[in-house]
Amino acid sequence: MTQELTTSLATEPARPSEGHGWWRDAVIYQVYVRSFADSDGDGIGDLRGARERLPHLAGLGVDAVWLTPFYASPQADGGYDVADYRAVDPLFGTLGDADDLVRTAHELGLKVIVDVVPNHSSDQHPWFREALADRPGGAARARYHFRPGRGAHGELPPNDWESVFGGPAWTRTTGPDGTPGEWYLHLFAPQQPDLNWDSPEVRAEFDSVLRFWLDLGVDGFRIDVAHGMVKAAGLPDIGHTEQAKLIGSQVLPFFDQDGVHEIHRSWRRLLDSYPGDRIGVAEAWAPTAERLALYVRPDELHQAFNFQFLKCPWDAAAMREVIDESLAATGSVGAPTTWVLSNHDVVRHTTRYADGAGGGPERGLARARAAALLILALPGSAYLYQGEELGLPEVTELPDELRQDPAFFRTSPDGQEGQDGQDGFRDGCRVPLPWTRSGDSYGFGPGGSWLPQPEDWAELSVEAQTGDPGSTLELYREALALRRELPGLGDGSMSWLDAPAGVLALSRPGLVCTLNTLGEEVELPVPGRALLSSAPLAYQAGTVRIPPDSCAWWAI
Ligand code: GLC
């Protein structure tokens, strides 16, 4: 049945017009360096490889790239275990390569954001080695969280905190003579000891690290675990297990403590002391959109990843609710909202959206294409994860012996710590990109790829999709080109239009976006001139049939 689209209330407060920074509506492409492009044939992506492929990103039409950690690291957690914050790991190249990459990106009109990992260092960082060599209570231990154990002989961890990767968040040290000593805190892997942000040395060191990369020319930082640096005084017990399941739904004594905001404020002052708009984006897991918005108050960071939207199921009502909450929360502090569907820590959305939907991978891909058009039509900034522009699915059949995600080893029945029950390991979303139809690793590099790529990825390659009007890559290219062209997209206001159940219709200046989340087509009065659609539209006497799981943009 044909349904009317009529205007309803605007949902978003007016935006401040002054101080419009590039980041307010930037499309930022996440380069997972290890898996993007390999220049030297060791099977691992590197900075030179990434630099050579920057024209692809400029051509795609994004505004900025975010590079995941390429710093000196034993790679216990894909580089999120940093041993030297100012050095490039030889796996990824040299400092000169980093410099070249930033320059080339700027020449192409792309900004560059790099990761900073302040919650923890590597256990191979000189500071942690010194700490281990120091005595209990010694100055070198004050840069981390060392505590005596509980129990008659200190044989029990100092509190009941669990590592995000499974198992206890504490590891006991062993003295030079082999006797067990104090315990140290690691919210992630044991190779990632948490730094103590009460230590003035830690604070001063990170100021200096930020300056180092800002001086090299980067345009900002993605702040890893931005919600974790401050721990509740006294490190109190939580009182129950399965704490990882509470992340993002509760304030925990180790996450989202109010004290973190003071650190972000001081970082904002540092960023603002540099010319150009240098930004900080928080990877923060907060229980509510309101608490997340605290990270992007005017004197704090510029953006925070909107994980509430990422976690939202494929359901029109639920999506509308999260969109409204997100816009209201960030709008209340004058910050832009971010939209993100995938990253290197979650199952790729093409696969997530297929789960339990029936219809298999094609259904997931249809929804993923539609979701991309939806987020690019919403007010604010969007983050794309490498490969989503190719519609890549999660690789679900990796052999266990090739896996590298530390969470796998700490939680799988086959892993050393044997605690089963957790799925969604993070190697399957990190499989290297296919660039060409043929050749070693589909053009990822001349020497294979650190994780095997599925045999059917030739047709998903950049080469295969380029010029094919029905391809996901061309859909992204067109959407990003339109986003640049149409003043109504990006930053600004939106309002909802009435639409049948299961359909979302939103209005931006000069434009309407319709999303059909249903498994069947929906007939609507033609909203305007079709600009772009994630699936072919069919017209009939003043109405249009919107295909299942699809999204379209209309000029009005
Ligand atoms: C962040 C990163 C993730 C890493 C963790 C610990 O969540 O995105 O990849 O394992 O922090 O640094």
pLDDT in tens, 308-347: 999 999 999 999 999 999 999 999 999 999 999 999 999 9
> Could you give the percent of the chain with pLDDT greater than 70?
94
Catalytic residue among 25, 81, 194, 224: 224
Work out which ligand 1 atom sits closest to the CA atom of 117: 12
Ligand 1 contact via 429 beta carbon (within 6 Å)? no
- What are the tens digits of pLDDT across the range 265-282? 999 999 999 999 999 999
Work out which ligand 1 atom sits closest to the CA atom of 120: 12
Active site residue 283: yes
pLDDT at position 10: 38
Q: Whose CA is nearest to atom 4 of ligand 1?
A: 80
Confidence class for position 418, pLDDT limits 50, 70, 90: very low
Give the pLDDT mean for 34-62: 98
> How many angstroms does the Cα of residue 225 sit away from the middle of ligand 1?
7
Ligand 1 contact via 307 beta carbon (within 6 Å)? no
Which residues on neighbouring strands pair with residue 552, listed in sequence order?
A: 514, 533
Work out which ligand 1 atom sits closest to the CA atom of 345: 9
pLDDT at position 411: 64
Burial 408-433 (b: 16+ CB within 10 A, else e): bbbbbeebeeeeeebeebbbbbbbbb
pLDDT at position 424: 58
Give the pLDDT mean for 207-225: 98
Burial of 141 (0-12, 13-18, 19+ CB in 10 A): buried
Q: Whose CA is nearest to atom 5 of ligand 1?
A: 80
Which residues on neighbouring strands pair with residue 223, listed in sequence order?
A: 116, 282
Ligand 1 contact via 224 beta carbon (within 6 Å)? yes
Give the pLDDT mean for 159-175: 95
pLDDT at position 13: 38
State both tokens at 393: 């699915």
3-state secondary structure string across 275-290: CCCCEEEECCCCCCHH
Burial 293-313 (b: 16+ CB within 10 A, else e): bbbbbeebbbbbbbbbbbebe
Confidence class for position 357, pLDDT limits 50, 70, 90: confident
Q: Which residues contact 233 (CB under 8 A, 6 or more apart)?
A: none
Q: Is the pLDDT of residue 105 over 70?
A: yes
> How many angstroms does the Cα of residue 59 sit away from the middle of ligand 1?
29
> How many angstroms does the Cα of residue 481 sit away from the middle of ligand 1?
32
Ligand 1 contact via 80 beta carbon (within 6 Å)? yes
Ligand 1 contact via 194 beta carbon (within 6 Å)? no
Q: Is the pLDDT of residue 419 over 80?
A: no
State both tokens at 226: 């931005």
> How many angstroms does the Cα of residue 76 sit away from the middle of ligand 1?
11
Give the pLDDT mean for 523-535: 97
Ligand 1 contact via 12 beta carbon (within 6 Å)? no
Q: Whose CA is nearest to atom 2 of ligand 1?
A: 224
- What are the tens digits of pLDDT across the range 116-165? 999 999 999 999 999 999 999 999 999 999 999 999 999 999 999 999 99
State both tokens at 266: 């001081």
Ligand 1 contact via 385 beta carbon (within 6 Å)? no
Q: Is the pLDDT of residue 412 over 80?
A: no
Q: Whose CA is nearest to atom 3 of ligand 1?
A: 345
Ligand 1 contact via 474 beta carbon (within 6 Å)? no
Catalytic residue among 38, 256, 277, 283: 283
197: alpha, beta or left? (left if phi > 0; alpha if psi -120 to 50):
alpha
C-beta separation of 550 from 531 below 8 A: no
Confidence class for position 35, pLDDT limits 50, 70, 90: very high
Confidence class for position 400, pLDDT limits 50, 70, 90: confident
Q: Is the pLDDT of residue 417 over 70?
A: no
- What are the tens digits of pLDDT across the range 85-102? 999 999 999 999 999 999
β-strands 111-116, 146-147: how paired?
unpaired
Q: Is the pLDDT of residue 184 over 80?
A: yes
Work out which ligand 1 atom sits closest to the CA atom of 426: 9
> How many angstroms does the Cα of residue 89 sit away from the middle of ligand 1?
18
pLDDT at position 543: 97
Q: What is the mean pLDDT of the chain?
A: 93
> How many angstroms does the Cα of residue 222 sit away from the middle of ligand 1?
11
Q: Which DSSP symbol is given to 237?
A: -
Domain 126-185, architecture per CATH:
Alpha-Beta Complex (3.90)
- What are the tens digits of pLDDT across the range 425-454? 899 999 999 999 999 899 999 999 999 999
> How many angstroms does the Cα of residue 119 sit away from the middle of ligand 1?
10
Work out which ligand 1 atom sits closest to the CA atom of 407: 10
Q: Is the pLDDT of residue 403 over 70?
A: yes
pLDDT at position 336: 96
E strand intervals along 329-455? 338-340, 381-385
The C-alpha atoms of residue 167 and residue 189 are separated, in whole angstroms, by 9
> How many angstroms does the Cα of residue 459 sit away from the middle of ligand 1?
31
Give the pLDDT mean for 452-470: 97
Confidence class for position 3, pLDDT limits 50, 70, 90: very low
- Domain limits of the chain? 126-185
Q: Is the pLDDT of residue 296 over 90?
A: yes
Q: Which DSSP symbol is given to 431?
A: P
More confident residue, 6 or 219: 219
Ligand 1 contact via 244 beta carbon (within 6 Å)? no
Active site residue 182: no
Work out which ligand 1 atom sits closest to the CA atom of 119: 12
Q: Is the pLDDT of residue 4 over 80?
A: no
Give the pLDDT mean for 366-380: 98
Q: Whose CA is nearest to atom 12 of ligand 1?
A: 80
Helices 200-216 and 95-107 meet at what angle, rounded to 10? 50
Ligand 1 contact via 188 beta carbon (within 6 Å)? yes
Measure CA 308 to chain center: 12
Give the pLDDT mean for 247-262: 92
The C-alpha atoms of residue 290 and residue 419 are separated, in whole angstroms, by 34
Q: Report the alpha-carbon angle 331-332-334, nearest 5.
A: 55
DSSP assignment of 203-216: HHHHHHHHHHHHHH
The C-alpha atoms of residue 133 and residue 466 are separated, in whole angstroms, by 56
> How many angstroms does the Cα of residue 345 sit away from the middle of ligand 1?
7
The C-alpha atoms of residue 424 and residue 403 are separated, in whole angstroms, by 12
Which pTM value belongs to this model? 0.94
pLDDT at position 420: 30
Using most ligand atoms within 8 A of CB, pick from 31, 68, 80 the residue to mutate for ligand 1: 80
Q: Which DSSP symbol is given to 141?
A: G
pLDDT at position 2: 43
Work out which ligand 1 atom sits closest to the CA atom of 343: 8
- Which run of H or E residues covers position 366? helix 360-377
